Structure 1
Amino acid sequence: MDSIQIGEIKIYWLRGGYTHFDGGAMFGVVPKPLWEKKYPANEKNQLANVTDPMFFQYLGKNYLIDSGLGNGRLTEKQKRNYGVTEESFVLEDLAKLNIAPEDIDYCLMTHLHFDHVLGLTGCSEEGYYSIFPNAEIWTSEIEWDEMQHPNIRSKATYWQENWQAIKGQVHTFTKEKRFNDAIKMTHTGGHSAGHSAVWFESGGELAIHMADIFPTFAHQNVLWVTAYDDYPMTSIAAKQDIFKRTFGKNYWFLSYHDARFRAVKIGGNGEIDAELKIENRN
């Protein structure tokens, strides 16, 4: 499986599912002739998107960032609407690393939209259950509140069955949560009111996972935001702030959704200096 080394931390991408979202939804008001040059659509005007969680170990603890689509959680209609061609192999990939679901200590949830959270919960004849029963599940306080009390728009992605079985494991933060000397989460808002980013600093090396305010590396233009973003101006402001602090500073940008690249480095001139392509997804 694909991996990247950030100082003492080796990050692995796990196969969490494969979707094909509408191109117009992925790029919002950006005209198709512009975005299609960077991210070609299929005959249905859909863009390939992976939903691949990241796994890493640090100071004896096992971490996941987001959780993928899970298995058996979507109806056939939902699979068709979201262009799902593959469900999750997260547990199989963890097994290759000699990690059982019970071994996960932390799940860092950038947000709780269905394509990020489905993999936390399984379904059996007895009902829903937690896939990672011993994990602390971390997300922002705003995100957790909206997950339980969605509005007329967000109820399409915040489903009750995605939180009821894990509610006893959920921990929240307001602005920032630092887990140790190398890893922290920060609230950004934008894509959702409670959306967050994950930062890494280890051995003098730097990385950031901006999740869905930077869903593909074609979204490098701060004005290019998805139609799924509930607060697009907040996404734009967050991207401006983060890019100002990271471009040209030797950061790796890590992706959960990009179907071509796992990570890129972006120079002070906005040009990609280094890239890690998806090579070993099967």
Structure 2
Amino acid sequence: MVRTVVAGLDGSSESRAAAEWAAREAKLRGLPLKIVHVWEPVPEPMAQAPLLGAETQQHWSERVPREAAEGIRLRHPGVEVTTEHLTGGSADTLVKAAADAELLVLGSRGLSGFGGFMVGSAGLSAVAHAERPVVLVRAGEQAADEHEPDSVGIPSAATPYRPVVLGLDAATPDDAVIEFAFEEAARRETGLRVIHGWNLPPYYVYGLSADTQLHDEIARQQAAVLAEALRPWRQKHPNVEVTEQTPSGSPGIRLVDASREASLVVVGRRIRRSPIGAHIGPVGHAVLHHAAAPVAVVAHN
């Protein structure tokens, strides 16, 4: 079975930005792009209304992805683009549609004044339950946003990519998350910035007042743990320039700060198959809601 990049499209500006990002990613990977439009059935009394009748529903469910696909084919020659119309709950249906995909790409509304995301319940549910990587893309995201500024300070698709940022718990690293980040950096021919944030256990705080070197010693230990976790991946990807950072403090805040100069932020999510709740974790939530770059959430066991 040929893998694809799947983009969820509902006609909104954020989903159109996601489809454009997905097309660029499909080209980098040499894979087809499938645009999936999900129609959520409306209650029967509403469905009988003139503007919501069956013919109107079918018209829009076909027109939105068809027109988007036509535009993407023109802007991204060489990328094979197909469309699919599905009916059901948007999150569950998209997760099922992407079960055999390389990744699922969804849009997310920009937060005015924060430079980041507002992830709706459907997006959070898809992220929390998909077992394939899910990428969230802001409304208004442009190709140039992923690239370094040119000589006059303006980002351009003709300049090199900004680095990929990986948020990693070095104490319990997962191969799937690390491999995804290294491969994304390699495809973009850019560097990988790995951030392992950590907080002092409460019982260390009192020791710091008596021993000012304690913090530095713990920081060195954390840096050694991160270096060891990345050592085999550096050997596997010798052409990827890796920067390791082990700052103390909230990992979520550190990743949000780093996202301002990133082409992509990668975080992990442990798979929990309980049907109740959105199992993403505090770091993932912080990054999803406030990052200034597209965010990839990679599920792992």
- Fold match by TM threshold 0.5: no
TM-score, length-scaled by structure 1: 0.24
Greater gyration radius: 2
Structure with the bigger percentage of helix: 2
Structure with the bigger percentage of strand: 1
TM-score, length-scaled by structure 2: 0.23
